[in-house]
């Protein structure tokens, strides 16, 4: 276990080492969403799937272990290089599937497993055991899967699949995890499964289904995006190159935007338009954010993103942008704390059912650091500092409830505040961003 996973707290002190700002070129770890999917699709497919750039964070490693339990051969070939040998389907696991902290892992695997006449029992850490699973169990039940679970649709739960019939399902919440679970179940359902999403969400599942040889029809209509998938299609192993995670790149990039004298480039960042809401919002706030070397890598748009210290101002973030930046509101709230004026973020109800109640924890953490915040059931308003005469104080020890993004967001705040900020449970950062501490130190940040 890495040293930072054993620490009881981690601190970020203001002012970069040498006082010159944060500087450097780095690569963000592999995209978490695509990494989970590459392993799951590899196990469902027939033949060999070679993956490059896999995120080797705890969440994804739990999915790798789960795919072994369902019968696939999963091998690590070297840093970020993995090989999955799929058997063209899942077999019944002999052990409980522990997905750790990963909502994406457990919900997508449940969708995939529902297509087979097998029983599987799922659990996770305390955070995951508190998160709602009915959003996935509901549609899987309509397709014919059975389950038994704890009160309120919580883990641990046992799912029994097989004999599914396709459904037409309108997403009640904008969730790519729910969409993906229904589509994965639809692969082994009789008939054509149709998911309708009133607000488009990340489309990595649709893209990857195609990369593995399946036919998926996507149509935009007045009531939203319609995704259709005929059951009984077979997947064949594919070569997958995982781009850098924009949700992780966001932390060093915002650190550069708020720290005087900084210029940081993150190379190879995934720029799928359904993931770039944060970059769009930061630009509206006046951020000097430049994309270079835009290219296509394995069916996904990718580029190198450079952030320079910028004078930011507050904005109203439209609620319809939320699905394209749902994991980025914690770090956006930090950027907003250093902006001039108010930043209002609405349509955030889904933030409350992430790894923690992120809306409540950001409001509490920012307030503890001396930032003006207003919390509503589905909105957060941050009152920015007026440059110079109302600095962000910092100086708090922030409770993260084991949430990696709450931890990283407050550490970034600490880099540009007046007093150091520390966070509890820093080991959880490794769920999505292993090596965060060292990488930030390499840029000149005082983290330790």
Binding site for ligand S3P (CB under 6 A): 33, 104, 175-177, 180, 202, 326-327, 350, 354
Residue-wise burial string across 11-41, b where 16 or more C-beta atoms lie within 10 A, e elsewhere:
bbbbbbeeeebbbbebbbbbbbbbbbbbbbb
CB of 38 to ligand S3P, least distance (A): 12
CB of 104 to ligand S3P, least distance (A): 4
Residue among 414, 417, 443, 416 nearest 9 (CA) = 414
Judged by beta carbon, residue 188 or residue 201, the one nearer ligand S3P is 201
* Pairwise CA distance, residues 357 & 154, whole Å: 16
Residues linked to residue 11 through DSSP beta bridges, in sequence order: 422
Chain position whose Cβ is nearest to ligand S3P: 33
Judged by beta carbon, residue 108 or residue 167, the one nearer ligand S3P is 108
Residue 231: how many CB atoms within 10 A of its CB? 18
Residue among 374, 372, 369 nearest 359 (CA) = 374
Judged by beta carbon, residue 381 or residue 431, the one nearer ligand S3P is 431
* Pairwise CA distance, residues 69 & 89, whole Å: 12
The backbone torsions φ and ψ at residue 312, rounded to the nearest 5 degrees and listed phi first, read: -95, 150
Angle at 66 between CA 326 and CA 158, to 5 degrees: 85
Judged by beta carbon, residue 139 or residue 394, the one nearer ligand S3P is 139
Q: What would you measure as the largest C-alpha separation in the chain, in angstroms?
A: 66
Residue among 372, 320, 374, 373 nearest 350 (CA) = 320
What positions carry a catalytic annotation? Answer: 327
CB of 118 to ligand S3P, least distance (A): 23
Residue 273: how many CB atoms within 10 A of its CB? 12
Contact 55, 245 (CB under 8 A): yes
Judged by beta carbon, residue 159 or residue 182, the one nearer ligand S3P is 182
DSSP secondary structure letter of residue 369:
T
CB of 327 to ligand S3P, least distance (A): 5
CB of 303 to ligand S3P, least distance (A): 20
CA distances from 13 to 212, 258, 309 (A): 46, 14, 18
CB of 31 to ligand S3P, least distance (A): 9
């Amino acid at each position: 276990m890495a040293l930072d996973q054993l620490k009881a707290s981690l601190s970020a002190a203001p002012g970069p080492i040498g006082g010159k700002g944060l500087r450097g070129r780095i690569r963000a770890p592999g995209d978490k969403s695509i990494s989970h999917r590459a392993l799951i699709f590899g196990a469902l497919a027939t033949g060999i799937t070679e993956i490059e750039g896999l995120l080797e964070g705890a969440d994804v490693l739990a999915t790798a272990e789960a795919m072994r339990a369902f019968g696939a051969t999963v091998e690590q070939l070297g840093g970020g290089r993995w090989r999955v040998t799929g058997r063209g389907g899942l077999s019944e696991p002999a052990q409980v599937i522990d997905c750790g902290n990963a909502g994406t892992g457990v919900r997508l695997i449940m969708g995939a497993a529902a297509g087979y006449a097998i029983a599987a029992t799922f659990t996770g850490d305390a955070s995951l055991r508190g998160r709602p699973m009915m959003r996935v169990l509901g549609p899987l039940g309509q397709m014919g899967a059975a389950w038994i679970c704890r009160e309120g649709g919580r883990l641990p739960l046992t799912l029994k699949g097989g004999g599914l019939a396709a459904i037409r399902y309108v997403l009640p919440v904008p969730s790519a995890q729910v969409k993906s679970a229904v589509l994965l179940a639809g692969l082994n359902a009789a008939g054509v499964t149709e998911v309708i999403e009133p607000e488009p969400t990340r489309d990595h599942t649709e893209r990857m289904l195609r990369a593995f040889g399946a036919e998926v029809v996507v149509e935009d209509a007045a009531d939203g995006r319609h995704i259709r998938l005929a059951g009984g299609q077979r997947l064949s192993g594919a070569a997958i190159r995982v781009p850098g995670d924009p949700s992780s790149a966001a932390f060093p990039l915002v650190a550069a935007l708020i720290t005087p004298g900084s210029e940081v480039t993150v190379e190879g960042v995934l720029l799928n338009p359904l993931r770039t809401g944060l970059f769009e919002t930061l630009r509206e706030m006046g951020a000097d954010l430049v994309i270079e070397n835009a290219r296509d890598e394995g069916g996904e748009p990718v580029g190198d993103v450079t952030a320079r210290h910028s004078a930011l101002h507050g904005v109203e973030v439209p609620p319809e942008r939320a699905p394209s930046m749902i994991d980025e509101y914690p770090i956006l709230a930090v950027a907003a704390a250093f902006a001039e004026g108010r930043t209002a973020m609405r349509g955030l109800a889904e933030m409350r059912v992430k790894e923690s109640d992120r809306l409540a924890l950001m409001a509490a953490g920012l307030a503890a650091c001396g930032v003006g915040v207003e919390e509503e059931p589905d909105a957060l308003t941050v009152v920015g500092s007026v440059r110079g005469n109302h600095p962000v104080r910092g100086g708090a020890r922030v409770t993260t409830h084991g949430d990696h993004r709450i931890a990283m967001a407050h550490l970034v705040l600490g880099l540009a505040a007046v007093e150091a900020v520390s966070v509890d449970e820093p080991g959880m950062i490794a769920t999505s961003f292993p090596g965060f501490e060292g990488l930030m130190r390499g840029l000149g940040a005082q983290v330790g």
